């Protein structure tokens, strides 16, 4: 990904905060394409809507196996095994029958073609060991269910708001431990500026940050504006 694509994405994000996103427009490389994995029908419906409303392209599957099939990673590992559009983010439930979210995470991080795709884990259980395990395995973030709009907005903005750099401090959000109110954005003091040079590969630096460093701190005011209203 080079600079131009990033900046056109920025413009688009600004324009399309809440758009009726017609996802029949294919091969739109400006939009973030998210692969969501959850075995629960209710949760699939909710996460799909959450992602669409934040202007993401969404593909929803009901199992880890289907996710791997979609990526083209199920049988053989071919470097160009993309089945369709490139996936920018994978968000998966942890507890699933068959292949758990953790196992899916391991498979993705273990594949040379796909390990650069950020993976976010969702779980209804706020278990510290589980969170740590996922982060150590390379998960980008860990969201406690039920997932809210503010979670998705925050996620999208810190991952794709200013460019796909991972040099910034990406702590995870143990939302339930931190707060009780739904709107979670604390007042931001943007520490690092937008760094336009981003690595062409999203190297998953799986260094779990300390719990006290939430992801908010490293993003600029634009995210503050968009995520604050929820």
Partner 1 sequence: MEVVGQLQKQYVDFITSLFREAYLDDQYVQLQKLQDDSNPEFVVEVVSIFFEDSEKLLNDLASSLLVSISLFWVFILCLRPSLLLMVVLFFLLFLFQLYSQQQVVDFKKVDGYVHQFKGSSSSVGAQRVKNACVTLRNFCEEKNLDGCSRYLNLVKQEFYLVKNKLETLLRMEQQILQAGGTVPLLEQVPLLWKQ
Chain residues binding partner 1 by CB under 8 A are 18, 20, 39-43, 45-46, 49-50, 53, 95, 97, 124, 145-149, 180-183, 230
Q: Which is nearer to partner 1, 93 or 162 (CB)?
A: 93
Nearest distance from C-beta of residue 43 to partner 1, angstroms: 5
Q: Which is nearer to partner 1, 181 or 189 (CB)?
A: 181
Q: Which is nearer to partner 1, 15 or 18 (CB)?
A: 18
CB 16 within 8 A of CB 57: no
Nearest distance from C-beta of residue 123 to partner 1, angstroms: 9
Nearest distance from C-beta of residue 93 to partner 1, angstroms: 8
Q: Which is nearer to partner 1, 43 or 218 (CB)?
A: 43
Nearest distance from C-beta of residue 171 to partner 1, angstroms: 23
Name the residue with tokens 């039920």.
Answer: 146
CB 216 within 8 A of CB 185: yes
Beta strands of the chain (E only): which ranges?
32-37, 56-61, 89-93, 119-123, 141-144
Nearest distance from C-beta of residue 12 to partner 1, angstroms: 18
Nearest distance from C-beta of residue 29 to partner 1, angstroms: 23
Q: Which is nearer to partner 1, 183 or 199 (CB)?
A: 183
**C-alpha angle 35-185-207 in degrees, rounded to nearest 5:** 55
CB 168 within 8 A of CB 214: no
Q: Which two tokens stand for residue 201?
A: 């590969």
**C-alpha angle 216-222-228 in degrees, rounded to nearest 5:** 65
Q: How far apart are CA 33 and CA 28, in angstroms?
A: 9
Q: Kindly report the backbone phi and psi dihedral angles of residue 34, in degrees, each rounded to the nearest multiple of 5, phi listed first.
A: -110, 135
Q: Which is nearer to partner 1, 124 or 205 (CB)?
A: 124
């Amino acid at each position: 990904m080079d600079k131009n694509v990033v900046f056109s994405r920025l413009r688009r994000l600004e324009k399309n905060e809440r758009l009726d996103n017609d996802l029949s427009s294919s091969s739109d490389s400006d939009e973030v394409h998210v692969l969501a994995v959850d075995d629960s029908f209710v949760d699939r419906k909710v996460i799909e809507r959450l992602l669409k409303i934040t202007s993401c392209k969404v593909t929803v599957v009901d199992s880890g196996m289907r996710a791997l099939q979609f990526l083209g990673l199920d049988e053989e590992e071919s470097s160009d095994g993309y089945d369709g559009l490139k996936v920018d983010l994978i968000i998966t439930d942890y507890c699933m029958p068959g292949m758990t979210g953790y196992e899916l995470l391991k498979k993705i991080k273990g594949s040379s073609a796909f390990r650069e795709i950020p993976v976010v884990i969702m779980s209804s259980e706020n278990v510290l060991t589980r969170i740590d395990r996922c982060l150590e395995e390379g998960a980008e973030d860990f969201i406690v269910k039920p997932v809210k709009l503010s979670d998705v907005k925050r996620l999208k903005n810190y991952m794709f708001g200013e460019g796909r750099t991972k040099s910034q401090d990406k702590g995870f959000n143990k939302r339930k431990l931190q707060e009780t109110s739904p709107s979670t954005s604390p007042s931001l003091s943007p520490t690092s500026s937008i760094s336009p040079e981003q690595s062409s590969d999203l190297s998953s630096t799986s260094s779990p940050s300390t719990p006290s460093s939430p992801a908010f701190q490293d993003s600029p005011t634009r995210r503050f504006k968009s995520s604050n209203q929820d």
